[in-house]
């Protein structure tokens, strides 16, 4: 599964400009009038734990656990693309604003193991840096929907084929991801 976004995909502006525009728009929505949403359930030092399901991002589908304190959180995501691999990402996030619709920016590490098709190959492994930029929308009570676009860049790779000693590509890859989460202690 390859996701490659280029400047041709978005017209004449470089991708970073599109991310900045998305960030500015989503940041301004955090301070929009209250008819978009009431106050966030997370006050300055209030803690909360959210659990949910994911689609896209580090796998086709997965589960996520988020420990949140105020406008900061630690997100653990476990996912797979096709049950022949497993991905684990740990991401720190900073939410902006204090409304139902909150943009966020994060930084984290993503590790993936891809299991061999036969006994000749070894387990392929990779470690990536990820920087998600997204929006979290708190629905009724303790339910939330969210989405992000994460910039991912390879840091280390162990290819499945032991004879393949090509260096890791440093080209950034943008992957969209979506989630549904429930607050366990509303």
For the chain, the structural domain boundaries read: 50-183
- Record the pTM: 0.74
Residue 123 phi, psi (nearest 5): -65, 125
Rounded CA gap, 146 and 102, in Å? 9
| Sites in the chain below the pLDDT cut of 70 | 1-45, 186
Task: Indicate the SS3 state at residue 26.
Answer: helix
Q: 50-183 maps to which CATH number?
A: 2.40.160.20
For the stretch 57-86, pLDDT in tens is 999 999 999 999 999 999 999 999 999 999
* pLDDT tens profile 142-159: 899 999 999 999 999 998
Distance of alpha carbon 112 from alpha carbon 105, whole angstroms: 22
- Coil, helix or strand at residue 90: strand
**Number of other CB atoms surrounding residue 21 within 10 Å:** 11
Quick one: DSSP state of residue 18?
H
Distance separating alpha carbons of residues 147 and 132, to the nearest angstrom: 9
Beta bridge partners of 147: 135, 178
Fill in the DSSP letter of residue 1: -
Query: What is the per-residue pLDDT for 104?
Result: 97
Which H or E run contains 98?
none
What pLDDT score was predicted for residue 139? Answer: 93
């Amino acid at each position: 599964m390859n996701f490659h976004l280029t400047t041709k995909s978005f017209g004449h502006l470089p991708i970073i400009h599109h991310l900045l525009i998305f960030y500015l728009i989503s940041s301004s929505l955090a301070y929009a009038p209250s008819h978009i949403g009431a106050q966030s359930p997370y006050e300055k030092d209030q803690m909360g734990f959210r659990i949910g399901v994911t689609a896209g991002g580090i796998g086709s589908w997965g589960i996520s656990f988020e420990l949140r304190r105020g406008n900061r959180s630690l997100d653990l995501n476990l996912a797979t693309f096709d049950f022949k691999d497993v991905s684990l990402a740990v991401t720190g996030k900073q939410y902006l604003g204090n409304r139902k619709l909150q943009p966020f920016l994060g930084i984290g590490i993503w590790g993936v193991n891809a299991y061999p098709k036969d006994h000749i190959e070894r387990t392929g492994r990779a470690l990536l840096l990820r920087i998600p930029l997204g929006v979290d929308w708190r629905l009724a009570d303790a339910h939330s929907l969210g989405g992000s676009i994460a910039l991912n860049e390879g840091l280390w790779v162990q290819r499945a084929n032991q004879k393949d000693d090509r260096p890791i590509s440093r080209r950034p890859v943008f992957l969209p991801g979506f989630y549904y989460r429930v607050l366990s202690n509303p």
